Amino acid sequence: MAAITTSPAHHEEVDPNASYLEASKGIGNWLVTVDHKRIGVMYLIAVTIAFALGGVFALLVRAELFTKGRTIMDADTYNRMFSLHGVVMVFLFIIPSIPAAMGNIILPIQLGTKDVAFPKLNLLSLYVYVFGACFGIYSMINGGVDTGWTFYTPYSSSDPAHGGVGSPSAVLPMTLAAFIMGFSSILTGVNFIATIHKMRAPGLTWRRLTLFTWALYATSIIQVLATPVLAITLLLLTMERFLGLGIFDPRLGGDPVLFQHFFWFYSHPAVYIMIVPAMGVVSEIIATFSRREPVGYMAIAASSLGLALLGFLVWGHHLFVAGMSEYATMVFSALTFLVAIPSGVKIFNWVATLYKGSISLQSPMLWALSFLFLFTIGGLTGLFLGMLAVDVHLHDTYFVVAHFHYVMVGGTVMGFVGGLHYWWPKFTGKLYDEKWARFGWFFVFVGFNVTFLTQFVLGSRGMPRRYYDYLPQFQQLHQISTMGSWVLGFGFLVLGTMFVRSLIGGKPAPRNPWGSAALEWMTPTPPPLYNFVKDPVLTRGQYDYHLATDDELYEGYDDPLFPKRMSKESREAKARS
């Protein structure tokens, strides 16, 4: 590991054993840092802002739907609002959320190494992301975009300023934003693949990788292979809109359905870019809070790779009613069902891990168990949509909206917030208030289900999506859903406040507050600049609770259940205080 260059600008002033937060001060040092943890923290701040922004758009969308007809905004504003919600949540928040923010901080530490393989590339990916996000913000200020996050042609590509039939909104800058952010995603993917292959600590065999690492590995492969297709597609769209080249617009000799093939060839694998890392987080949390190696470790790892592979073969299920041959439709339906197998394997193994564990329901575990429940519903409702006859009825209705929110929010956001709770002490060196955490979790969980369970019923009853106005018979369910969104928003407000309070006045976190056997908890909190005081050599797996020593596990919280198992150090520290 001699080749890595993590030297900060002022080499001689830096104490490599100081915490990464304190190793060098000043915003200038942060902006040019090549430390993966600092880059991860900056990503975390950026995606959190994006999440808050996307959340506000969502609340406005739900508020507008509270009554039939105009409630707070006109139709054009509404269309821009739901498009911005989709674009911001997908491209600015959910794709970089777990891999680029948490993965960046945790992955090298779980590998027992000093940094990622290409630290400067890592910083570049952050800047590319921010640059892309600026284009997105520019298009919002410039009147927004009203195509939905899917940019379907010819509505998105046929510019009315040149006599076309499409959208008059700022499609071009928003397309460019997604195009640029794609590169950030590719750079992170390349970096993680190289890091996992080449930079593992001595003794860290492939079979000892954490499941989070396996998940990031699978995700990175998808990012590297699929994202270029999105880039090409968006470039073609730009060329059609800007230069009038006929690719997708039938008026110019193009084929609008071709765009959907291109778009979903990226965006379906992208669904796994979004969910697989969350599955990795959940594997970590369930192992730690059951104090047990996950059942079927290899099966869970392999199913992440299986999802990555299958994700490339099922894009056609977005086009069942769009105009594909019956033969293609049949094949895509059959392939789509295969996705259920690795997803099911994961769920069975997680549940089996709980069996004969030592289960603690601290806040990260609440999020992981919520994931288990909500993702099960999200996955099963996916079967409805894979079944051809049923999909024809449910396609492009609120049922689909509810389904992917159960997967993306019930899955990825639960994993993201769970991971944030789980690693927060490691990231910041601070503890948070467990009561507030549970309080917030309760409102998010209840609010989410109220908001989106009702939308399944709305969809089955025939309410199409992306509707500004609706028939009177749908109003009651829309109102319940909107009220649920307030509860959900309140829950996130509680959590935001809790984390800010923790930053300002939180108690210092011990090295291993949860009693985990994984490598990131074996190093001081917050980690030193080069992650470990001494280069680690692994003599056991990261889930080997039966091999970990009591000092490794129980130096931490005053675990009321194991008062005598605290390490000597902690007992002494306690005695002093």
For the segment 21-60, give every residue that binds another protein (CB under 8 A).
none
**Per CB under 8 A, which of residues 284..303 are in contact with another protein?**
290-297, 299
Q: How far is the CB of 316 from another protein (least distance, A)?
A: 14
CB nearer to another protein: pick between 337 and 490 = 337
Please, what is the minimum distance in Å from the beta carbon of residue 72 to another protein?
12
User: C-beta of 396: minimal distance to another protein in Å?
Assistant: 4
Beta carbons of 557 and 516 less than 8 angstroms apart: no
Q: Which is nearer to another protein, 8 or 357 (CB)?
A: 357
Binding to another protein in span 463-482, by CB under 8 A: 464-471
Sequence-separated (6 or more) residues with CB below 8 Å from residue 385: 317, 391, 394, 395, 399, 400, 403
Count of alpha carbons within 13 Å of 388, Cβ hemisphere only? 15
User: With binding defined as CB under 8 A, does residue 69 bind another protein?
Assistant: yes
Reduce the secondary structure of 271-304 to three states and give it as a string.
Answer: HHHHHHHHHHHHHHHHHHHHCCCCCCHHHHHHHH
Of 10, 120, 198, 393, the residue at the interface with another protein (CB under 8 A) is 393
Binding string, residues 141-180; x marks residues near another protein by CB under 8 A: -----xxx---xxxx--x-xx-xxxxxx------------
Beta carbons within 10 angstroms of residue 35's beta carbon:
27
Three-state secondary structure call for residue 255: coil
What is the residue whose two structure tokens read 């997680």? 350
Q: Which is nearer to another protein, 225 or 352 (CB)?
A: 352
Single out the segment in contact with another protein by CB under 8 A; choices: 14-22, 370-378, 423-431, 521-529.
370-378
**244 interacts with another protein by CB under 8 A:** no
Using rule CB under 8 A, residue 550 touches another protein: no
Per-position x/- string for 495-534, each x denoting binding to another protein as judged by CB under 8 A, each - no binding: ----------------------------------------
**94 in contact with another protein (CB under 8 A):** no
CA 116 to chain centre: 20
Start-to-end CA distance of the chain, whole Å, equals 41
Residue 45 or 361 having the CB closest to another protein: 361
Single residue of 18, 28, 45, 70 touching another protein by CB under 8 A: 70
Does residue 64 bind another protein (CB under 8 A)? no
User: Minimum Å distance from CB 283 to another protein?
Assistant: 13
DSSP letter string over 524-560? -SSPBTTS-SS----SS-TT-TTTS-HHHHHSSS--T
DSSP state of 322: T
Instruction: Answer yes or no: are the C-beta atoms of 111 and 200 closer than 8 Å.
Output: yes
Among 127, 131, 138, 384, binds another protein (CB under 8 A): 384
Spatial separation of the C-alpha atoms in residues 548 and 553, rounded to whole Å: 7
Q: Which of residues 305-344 bind another protein (CB under 8 A)?
A: 321-323, 326, 329-330, 333-334, 337-338, 340-341, 344
Among 132, 256, 491, 556, binds another protein (CB under 8 A): 256
Nearer to another protein, 198 or 546 (CB): 546
Which residues lie below 8 Å from residue 263, measured CB to CB, with a gap of 6+? 150, 151, 152, 230, 233
DSSP letters for 89-120: IIIIIIHHIIIIIIIHHHHHHHTT-SS-S-HH
- CB nearer to another protein: give 125 or 260: 260
The verdict on 462 binding another protein (CB under 8 A) reads: yes
